[in-house]
Amino acid sequence: MISNKNESIFLNIVPMKKKLTLLIFLLPVVLFAQTEIKDGSIIIDFGKGKSKNDTIKPKRVQDDEYYNEPKTKDKKKPLIVEGQEEKPDFQRDGLFRALFIAGLNLSQIDGDEQAGYNYPGAHIGVGTLVKFHKNVSVSMELLYTMKGAYRRRNVNEFPQYLMRQQWDYVSVPLMLNIHDKKLVMLSAGLTLNYMVRNKLRYEVFDPTGAVSDSLSAPGYLALSREPRKFDLGGTVAFQFLIKQVFGIGARFEYSLIGLKPSVNPVKNIRFMHNNSITLRLMYILNPIKKKKR
């Protein structure tokens, strides 16, 4: 009887030791985890301190790439907002731009008793433009320009006459230019002119249609006086720019000094003046931009 009793006590002690050992191993888990008793069973939540709505954010590869990216001493490129103009870099782009010009003069001479921009002439040359600000530049040109006056023969009047006055100049315009949104260039300045050709044709016809020297003499003498070799003109101009390379526009120039006495000094115009409108095409040769290192 005694042996059976001892055996039963031993069998009860062994399960108790197993439960005690299991509790010892589970104690840290219970302390550091959330536990919940539901329907007589113990539920262990290892996500301690996080609510049900919390989610584990995935690791961002971009962050690792950013922090692992080698640092360089190169300056970052400036951020250019859409619609905002890039600031000009004159050290990179250069200050000087070459100009190639071609155009047509429509001229008259005030004080020769004729009217109308009837004399066409060539207007060609080269120049340079110095742009030291995004909105301001100065330019100088060297041009060969043909000015003068012309009156064709009119068969319905008497006496009939024909007049052609040709004055050719080597011109040096000095201009201040204002640039507006890279589309328009407004200019104003002075033009220095030196005459290289002075040619006059004046003919009066008699009733038979032949040239009469006696009738031509008075008018020829009034027009044939030698003009000044030097002319100073005030000049204004505008150009429409296409891709900042091609320019299409017009220029107006008027003599600021008298060139010679007018045909009829009694009138308000005592001296003759050049008066011309020029239709111009311009090509702007930009310098080769230096490559950034």
| Whole-structure pTM value | 0.65
Split into its structural domains, the chain has a count of: 2
Look at residue 51 and tell me if it is in a domain: no
- On whether both 150 and 37 belong to a single domain, the answer is no
State the burial class of residue 228 (Cβ atoms within 10 Å of its Cβ: 0-12, 13-18, 19+).
middle
Is residue 282 a contact partner of residue 249, using CB atoms and an 8 Å limit?
A: yes
Look at residue 269 and tell me if it is in a domain: yes
109, two tokens: 């001479």
What is the pLDDT of the chain when averaged over all its residues?
Answer: 78
Is residue 114 a contact partner of residue 154, using CB atoms and an 8 Å limit?
A: no
3-state secondary structure of 80: coil
Look at residue 73 and tell me if it is in a domain: no
222, two tokens: 């009034």
pLDDT tens digits, one per residue of 106-163: 999 998 888 889 999 999 999 999 988 888 999 999 999 999 999 988 877 777 889 9
Task: Give me the phi and psi of 281, to 5 degrees please.
Answer: -120, 135
* CA–centroid distance for 25 within its chain: 80
Is residue 204 a contact partner of residue 223, using CB atoms and an 8 Å limit?
A: no
Could you tell me how many residues make up the chain?
A: 293
State the residue range of the domain holding 145: 93-285
pLDDT tens digits, one per residue of 118-131: 999 999 999 999 98
- On whether both 35 and 154 belong to a single domain, the answer is no
pLDDT tens digits, one per residue of 72-97: 555 555 554 555 555 555 555 557 89
- On whether both 41 and 99 belong to a single domain, the answer is no
- On whether both 144 and 274 belong to a single domain, the answer is yes
Is residue 168 a contact partner of residue 196, using CB atoms and an 8 Å limit?
A: yes
Look at residue 75 and tell me if it is in a domain: no
- On whether both 110 and 254 belong to a single domain, the answer is yes
